[in-house]
Amino acid sequence: MPNVMKVYLENGQTKSFKYDSATTVSDVLNSLQQKLGFKSMDNFSLCVEHVKSIRKNKLTLLDPAESLAWIAARPGAHNLRCMLRIAFLPKDAYDLLRKDTGGFEYLFMQCCNDVVQERFAPELKYDIALRIAALHMHQHALTNKMQGKLTVKNIE
């Protein structure tokens, strides 16, 4: 579809945006903030993933002042996938949790997806994978208000 940009989110959803020559990356970030209910977009950035690049998982941050039309007109733009990512990590993750629970959960999903997709480390240590899996199961149990002793069978 011409003049429509899809933004891929860490939870597997996509958000589509119609744009014209005046629409900027900042406009999309502001719209995403409203749609997703984040309190602040200071840590977030739109980036493009070079899908057919020699270097696997190459990400490029987009300037908030750039227009979407200019990005779409770049050579090879059809090989780019636009993503919303937390690009600027907070100094204290607990502070992010207190200020913006949704932003913290997005960071957690992003970290899990980065590990699963081997985005930054092709070799994953087993103990780290087990800790992340346990943390994810614990989060699932809390979200579903499961109480008492938790077993893998109950979580399934």
Distances (CA, A) of 144 to 36, 73, 129, 156: 20, 45, 23, 12
137, part of any domain: no
- Higher-pLDDT residue of 130 and 61 is 61
Q: Which of 60, 57, 56 is nearest to 48 (CA)?
A: 60
* Percentage of the residues of the chain whose pLDDT score is greater than 90: 42
Give domain status of residue 60, yes or no: yes
Alpha helices in the chain (DSSP H): 25-36, 68-72, 93-99, 101-116, 126-143, 152-155
- Name 113's Cβ contacts closer than 8 Å, sequence gap at least 6: 10, 119
Residue 97 belongs to a domain: no
Residues 26-82 have pLDDT tens digits of: 999 999 999 999 998 999 999 998 887 666 667 889 999 999 999 888 888 888 899
* Residue 21 maps to a domain: yes
User: Which residues constitute the domain of residue 62?
Assistant: 4-89
Q: How many domains does the chain have?
A: 1
Report yes or no on 20 lying in a domain. Answer: yes
In a domain? residue 66:
yes
